[in-house]
Structure 1
Amino acid sequence: MKRYSADGVIPFHTPGHKQGRGAHELLRELLTAEGLRQEVSLMEELDDLHAPHSCIMEAQALAARLWHADECLFMVNGTTSAIQAMLFGTLKAGDLVMIPRNAHRSVIAGLILSGATPIFLPVDFNDEFNLPLNVSVETIERAIKKFPQARAVLLVSPNYYGVAADLQRISKLVHAADMLLLIDEAHGAHLTFCDELPPSAMEAGADLAAQSTHKILGSLTQSSMLMLRKDFLDIERVKRAASLLQTTSPNQLLLASLDIARLQMQLDGQKKICSAVELSKRLRAEIKNIQGLKVFESTNLDLTKVTVNVQGLGVTGQEAEEILRHELRVQCELSDVANLLFLVTFADDAETSSRLLDALRRLPRRTPKTFPPFPIPNSKFQIAKLSPRETFYLPAEVVAFNEAVGRVCAEEVTFYPPGIPLLMPGEEISAQVVEMIRQAQGCVIGTGDSTLATIKVVRSH
């Protein structure tokens, strides 16, 4: 990028701002003159993301080596496209794939693309903190026995709250059953750099892992990596799937940021990530001493995710977030009914952690609250009535929610937090789930009618 921008070439090619010459002053202020000079398209110096043969190929190989993978693909459409490529590149119509109920919406999109049918796995839940844990080894064992014909298992590890599955044991079970292990590792690109954290997906033996390099490490938002292990994969098919799902005009700044994030971790990753873990441990100890607050602890936990329960203060997590943001100038990663989640990265230090502690000490204290546990769909393994692809292409209609029992759902019904869907596209709507939805609290996402007075279902013949 630097070599091309410094070569004195007069550009008669995209992008239209011509290395910043025509950029509006607001864009120049945002990206700087140097950034715009290097924001160029597919010149010979810059390689082709869809057929890499020089600098991109080298950068991906360096990343694969660092993250213990056989190959790595740079993704500029976010981890959403990486997850879709995992499913599209390994499954076909009619294949069964096990997925947790709290899978990201990109998983459903990947199932629509591939035509595979999901088997929904129950997720363990922590009632004290009212938050999802992960899929247990025992659940995987039972699911494999019941569905030995399944092609793959997809897990979210670690989840948003930092809880990882026991991937080392699960990997052995899955591969012994001749299945693939696919991991949504969006929140775990840093795990490989500190022994106090759960093992990374690649180190645990996963076949594919989609990582959001930008979430915890140092690349730009929207840039991600897809890690591949050769043993059981058709790697060329996965590459074709990734190519189909990525833009043909990748932003070179995003690609460069992935390589720079890799370089930063290669040079100093262990020190940076372990320092973040140590800072997080000190922060956790201090928060535990604040009256009314509790800190979430669990086995297989990414310690850099600090979940603070505020029920003892008599406020909801959402109320606490509003106070922190607008009165105390601290922004959390998320809030739910009972908790606040804070991400500690290598960018944090004693000053930022002190600011957070001071803000938490200044939160108001009211009468302590308790909240009913989030209703969880039953622990039985459930195969959808229709695959997400079949549901996507069938005509749908909107009916009154009270009249939807027995119909096939055509949209996702998720209460956020905690983000566990109570209904997925293709699932039959039962009376039990209708009652759960009536009891649930939180913001409804995924539906056309957020009040849930109506719901979209597959049209009856």
Structure 2
Amino acid sequence: MANLPQTSAPIYEALERFRRNRVVPFDVPGHKHGRGNPELVELLGDRCVSIDVNSMKPLDNLCHPVSVIKEAEELAAEAFGAEHAFLMVGGTTSSVQSMILSCCKKDDKIILPRNVHRSVINAIVLCGAKPVYVNPEVDQKLGISLGMKLEAVERAIRENPDAVAVFVNNPTYYGICSNLKEIVKKAHEKEMKVLVDEAHGTHFYFGKALPVSAMEAGADMTSVSMHKSGGSLTQSSFLLTGKGMNAGYVRQIINLTQTTSGSYLLLSSLDISRRNLALRGEEAFERVINLAEYARTEINQIDNYYAFGRELVNGDSIYDFDPTKLSIHTLDIGLAGIEVYDILRDEYDIQIEFGDLGNVLAYLSIGDRKQEVERLVSALADLKRRYQKDKTGMLSQEYISPKVVMTPQESFYAEKESLPIRETKGRICNEFVMCYPPGIPILAPGEEVTDAIIDYILYAKEKGCSLTGPEDEHIERLNVLKR
């Protein structure tokens, strides 16, 4: 573990030494501390641009760290209770893909819920693993997918004893947690690795009254989005490993896809943010929980909104709930979540995280204050007064169970043709379709297109969801396998 105290930030401190030394740059980047690009300096500031530098001996190398980056990794591992921590500059997408590529090879089976982020299925396309989907439970009133029932995971393990890993979302975007400790126990009994997408659970490591973290639950690997609730710069993330994982091999896997020119702005932001959470995280996230509880109470006093919380916990498909998540069900005011999302931005200058067909998510974290929460509550009350309408005929389902016909890799690389969406019923999809955020595929390669999926895509498009994935930028055609 780290020889340095958690008050240290070795990458940041090395950059400060570098800046003070006024080194003459005959290396990249070509803006040369901003002198060659004054508009960039005007945008980001001299201090920021002056430390946008390349790897060099005093600053270590992300691909093979031996000094300050290695020290930062050791401090992060200690802070998160992990055996090893890797600093990731390709977002949690890169972390998730590295987890899967570290454990799965072609034709290996991996057990996972279908409501995963697209990065998971992208990794399966790359390595050729075979997904064994455990369809999540769905809350019919809220229209959201929940966690994996322990019984369903046990059945998948029993029926697929040759699977190499179990993948878990914990928490989901909506704050839903599965019974992670028991899933880890059941998987380890059959010598399967447990990989956790903990993109929305950074704070689990630094707060009381929060669900169990992946490392505490005994998971083998987990991906932690420091830039979400942890306060670092966008695109920065940690990949954590537990006991028994070969850190040298994981590093090799990371280096297959991660840049050799890691941004020191991102690396130093991870370093500083880890220090901030290690020193002040518990107190900070207690404030976030209190803010979220206050917001839920106030919003639930406005008729026809439902800001849901721990009352949903059922001990299985909702084993626990992340109390920092402020998710609000909007259908009872006659508006889809994406419509509320658009109105809040366009009419009230409030940007929330995302809206789906029935809910919105306001992401609360260490930078939020009570006055902003009060502004959101007031806006929701006014929005309801101005825009409420009859909800008859509105769709609510956020998750549709897929019909899997082929592996993602087989279908992604198969010969394809482009058809208008309405003519694709019964065909096998060759690409992704999803609303982003949250980036969970409605359709993934290898899945059959059904009437329900076609209706969902067209309805989501009509309501204003930001659809991504297909080759056709207008989302009017889909690529399907040629017959």
TM score, norm. by length of structure 1: 0.92
How far apart are the structure 1 equivalents of 2:380 and 2:270? 34
Q: Given the superposition, is the C-alpha separation of residues 355 and 227 from structure 1 closer, same or farther in structure 2, using an over 3 Å criterion?
A: same
Greater CA drift, 167-176 or 233-242:
233-242
State the shift of 1:95 in Å: 0.1
The answer to whether the Cα contact below 8 Å between 2:138 and 2:144 also exists between their aligned partners in 1 is: yes
Q: Which runs of 5+ in 1 are unaligned?
A: none
1:261 aligns with 2:273: yes
| Stretch moving more, 53-62 or 102-111 | 102-111
Report what 2:375 is aligned to.
355
State how far apart, in whole Å, the 2-side matches of 1:314 and 1:403 are: 30
Q: 1:391 aligns with which of 411, 424, 432?
A: 411
**Residue 307 of structure 1 pairs with residue 327 of structure 2:** yes
CA distance in 2, matches of 1:420, 1:42: 35
Corresponding position of 2:42: 29
Partner in structure 1 of residue 470 of structure 2: 447
The 1:214/1:415 distance shift into structure 2, 3 A limit, reads closer
- For the 8 Å contact 2:98–2:254, the answer to whether it is kept is yes
Alignment partners' CA distance in 1, 2:205 and 2:105: 31
SS of 1:306's partner is: strand
- Matched with 1:333 is 353
Would you say the 8 A contact 1:82–1:224 is kept in 2? yes
Distance 1:143 1:52 in 2: 39
- For the 8 Å contact 1:337–1:417, the answer to whether it is kept is no
Residue identity (%): 38
Q: Which residue of 2 aligns with 1:106?
A: 119
Distance in 2 (CA, whole Å) between partners of 1:75 and 1:179 is 25
**Letter in structure 1 aligned against 2:391:** K
How many positions carry a matched residue from both structures? 451
- The residue identity in structure 1 corresponding to 2:273 is A
Alpha-carbon deviations, 1:149-199, whole Å to 9, x = none?
Answer: 111111211111111111111111111121111111111111111221111
Q: Does 2:219 correspond to 1:219? A: no
Structure 2 vs 1, CA of residues 362 and 92 (structure 1 numbering), >3 Å: closer, same or farther? same
| 1:419, distance to aligned residue in structure 2 (A) | 5.8
CA gap of 1:8–1:332, structure 2 versus 1, over 3 A, is closer
Whether the 8 Å contact between 1:90 and 1:234 is mirrored in structure 2 is no
- Equivalent position amino acid for 2:84 in 1: E
Partner of 1:250: 262
Contact persistence 2:422–2:454 (CA under 8 A): no
Indicate how the Cα distance of structure 1 residues 304 and 376 shifts in structure 2: closer, same or farther if over 3 A, else same: closer
Amino acid at match of 1:240: Q
Q: Determine whether 1:177 maps to 2:190.
A: yes
CA-CA distance at 1:402 after TM superposition:
6.0
Q: Answer yes or no: is the 8 Å Cα contact 1:39–1:251 preserved in 2.
A: yes
Residue in structure 1 matched with residue 3 of structure 2 by the alignment: none
The verdict on how the C-alpha distance between 1:93 and 1:217 changes in structure 2, with shifts beyond 3 A counting, is same
Q: Which residue of 2 aligns with 1:12?
A: 26
CA drift at 1:55: 0.5
Gap change, CA 1:405 and 1:338, over 3 Å in 2: closer
Q: What corresponds to 2:389 in structure 1?
A: 367
Taking the TM superposition and a 5 Å limit, the aligned residue runs for 1:128-139 are 128-139=141-152
Matches within 5 A, 1:127-276: 127-231=140-244, 233-276=245-288
Letter in 2 for 1:10: V
Please report how far the alpha carbon of residue 202 of structure 1 lies from its aligned counterpart in structure 2 after TM superposition: 1.0
Question: Matched residue of 1:89: which SS?
Answer: helix
Question: Could you tell me how far 1:417 is from its partner in structure 2?
Answer: 8.0
Secondary structure, aligned partner of 2:383 = coil
SS of the equivalent of 2:253 reads helix
Cα distance in 1 between the residues matched to 2:424 and 2:478: 7
Does 2:105 correspond to 1:53? no
Task: Tell me how far apart the structure 1 counterparts of residues 424 and 441 of structure 2 sit (CA, whole Å).
Answer: 17
Residue type at the aligned position of 1:394: A
Aligned equivalents of 1:308 and 1:124: distance in 2?
Answer: 19
SS state at 1:155 partner: strand
1:87 corresponds in structure 2 to 100
Q: Counterparts of 1:49 and 1:416 in 2: how far apart (Å)?
A: 30
* Paired residue type of 1:174: A
The alpha-carbon distance between structure 1 residues 50 and 334, as it changes in their structure 2 partners (threshold 3 A), is same
Aligned mate of 2:293, from 266, 281, 301? 281
Pair 147,453 (structure 1): closer, same or farther in 2 beyond 3 Å: same
Q: Return the alpha-carbon distance in structure 2 between the equivalents of residues 170 and 308 of structure 1.
A: 29
1:434 maps to amino acid: T
Contact persistence 1:417–1:442 (CA under 8 A): no
CA distance in 2, matches of 1:388, 1:40: 39
The offset of 1:415, in angstroms, is 5.6
C-alpha contact 2:358 2:396 (8 A) present in aligned 1:
no
Specify the SS of the correspondent of 2:174: coil
Distance in 2, matches of 1:416 and 1:267, equals: 34
Q: 1:254 to 1:357 in 2, by over 3 A?
A: same
Alignment partner, residue 97 of structure 1: 110
CA deviation map 1:16-50 (0-9, x unaligned): 111122222x3112221111121111122100111
In 2: Cα distance, 1:254 partner to 1:162 partner: 26
TM-score, structure 2 length as denominator?
0.88
1:183-237 Cα offsets, whole Å, 9 max, x none, are: 1111111111122111111111111101110011111001001000132x33322
